[in-house]
Amino acid sequence: MSTYDEIEIEDMTFEPESQMFTYPCPCGDRFQIYLDDLFDGEKIAVCPSCSLMIDVVFEKEDLAEYYEEAGIQPPEPIVIAA
Amino acid sequence: MSCMYSFGSNGQGQLGLAHDRDVDTPQRSILAGDGRMSKIACGGNHSVVLMSNGTLAGCGDNRRGELQGECALQQVRGWTAIEVPAPVVDVACGWDTTVVVDTQGHIWQRGGGRYEFEQRQLRLDPAGGRIAVYGCFQNFVVVQGSQVYGWGSNTKCQLQARKCRSVAEPTLVCDSGSVAVDYVTMGKDFLVVVDKNGRMAHASGRLPAGFHLEQQEERVGLEVRCMWTSIHVWDTCQSTVESFGRGTHAQLFPQVGVGVPIADFTAGSEHGILVTAGQEEPHPHYDVHCWGWGEHGNCGPQRGSQPGLQLVGRYATRPRVFGGCASTWIVLDQR
């Protein structure tokens, strides 16, 4: 499976209300992936309007700040390396 | 008078048609009046036309204030006049933004959640020569003489060497020195500055795989265009086109099948548009071809990303071509 591009998580837009990350797709829609899906190890964000996908580049510990921003707890504690 | 034809992605009515369905063959996009169209600029889901008299019209998405002042107006269906502070000399679109430069050298920006034009701090010299604006994704640049000023995202150091999230106001990106800048072509997070000799004078940001400016700096006579993630270089002296980037969806220029002279080319978000000049007598003609990612019909009826060129139109007069986000535009000028 060949993804269209690799995008760092810091370049995506996080919507705390829906706990979703989005990023513009060249078709005009936006790639989407949920915070919990990233936590579960999913790295592919998909566009609802076309077949393109992107690889989200992140470390699990990056997710802690987004859970905090959304005001919710991660499914299990995130261990942050010293 | 200019006749516009459009096809491709149309979910927000950005093709200026009477509906919001995608189309895969050129459709007449009707703009009121009989003026000459100077430029088409496209954002993620909105389109703007600059007329030669300095007026603007737009269509498509208005959820972020891209086109009109009413936040309740989510979509502008059909070409509609855009109110501008003064006659416009150039226009460009970002993902959800629109920027114009007026005859007095003022720079105005709207969209991105701002429902009216706001003036940028930099003012260019209206008597100082041609002023142009270019945009892509989250970045804009303005050009006058040898200087390029940019603003917007700087997460890939596309504007200045020190990485930061964004640059709020126009800041000097480069000065090309004794040879003036001709144009700037921009990808999703990089830009390339081309001077009047057709030489790449500057490149910055997350440049596509295989592209190294130092290998290009001695070359002249180049025409350079960028898709979001690739660079395409037409060497007008050698009549070759070279592409740089991953090309996972056939975005790299197909090296076979071009047996006639290239007249022009441009790029959309992830597809290219090529104009060739057929010389056969007694009916010389121009062909418009597309290549690359065409899932929304923006490369023609074959929507897969198959390699090769797809012929989308043949015209007796030389067409002008523009590319948007999965959209293709063909303009025919009538005397």
Radius of gyration of chain B (CA): 19
Instruction: Check A28 against B45: CB less than 8 A apart.
Output: yes
pLDDT on residue B281:
74
| Sheet containing A13-15: order of strands | A5-8, A53-57, A44-46, A30-34, A20-24, A13-15
pLDDT on residue B284:
84
Residue B112 with chain A: CB contacts under 8 Å: none
Best to test chain B binding among A2, A3, A8, A27 (most B CBs inside 10 Å): A27
Task: Give the residue among B50, B54, B67 at the shortest CA–CA distance from B13.
Answer: B67
- Residues of chain B with confidence (pLDDT) below 50: none
pLDDT on residue B257:
56
H-run or E-run covering B36: none
Please give the Cα distance from B318 to B152 (Å, whole number).
35
Please give the Cα distance from B271 to B79 (Å, whole number).
24
Please give the Cα distance from B299 to B203 (Å, whole number).
28
Q: Distance, in angstroms, between B103 CA and closest chain A CA?
A: 31
Are B123 and B106 a contacting pair, CB within 8 Å? yes
Instruction: Check A27 against B155: CB less than 8 A apart.
Output: no
Chain A interface includes B137 (CB < 8 A): yes
Neighbours of A76 (CB within 10 A): 7
Please give the Cα distance from B266 to B272 (Å, whole number).
6
Radius of gyration of chain A (CA): 13
Burial of B112 (0-12, 13-18, 19+ CB in 10 A): middle
Please give the Cα distance from A21 to A45 (Å, whole number).
9
pLDDT on residue B100:
98
Write out pLDDT tens, residues A31-69. Answer: 999 999 999 999 999 999 999 999 999 999 999 999 999
DSSP characters over chain A: ---SEEEEGGGSEEETTTTEEEEE-TTSSEEEEEHHHHHTT--EEE-TTSS-EEEEE--GGGGHHHHHHHT---SSPPPPP-
Are B191 and B141 a contacting pair, CB within 8 Å? yes
Chain B interface includes A78 (CB < 8 A): no
- Intra-chain end-to-end CA distance of chain A, in Å: 35
pTM (predicted TM-score): 0.95
Please give the Cα distance from A40 to A42 (Å, whole number).
6
Own/partner contacts of B52-57, CB < 8 Å, gap of 24 or more, are B53/B87, B54/B84, B54/B87, B54/B88, B54/B89, B54/B103, B55/B81, B55/B84, B55/B87, B55/B88, B56/B81, B56/B82, B56/B84, B56/B88, B56/B91, B56/B100, B57/B31, B57/B32, B57/B81, B57/B82
pLDDT on residue A1:
61
- Under the banding of pLDDT at 50, 70 and 90, the label for residue A82 is low
pLDDT on residue B293:
96
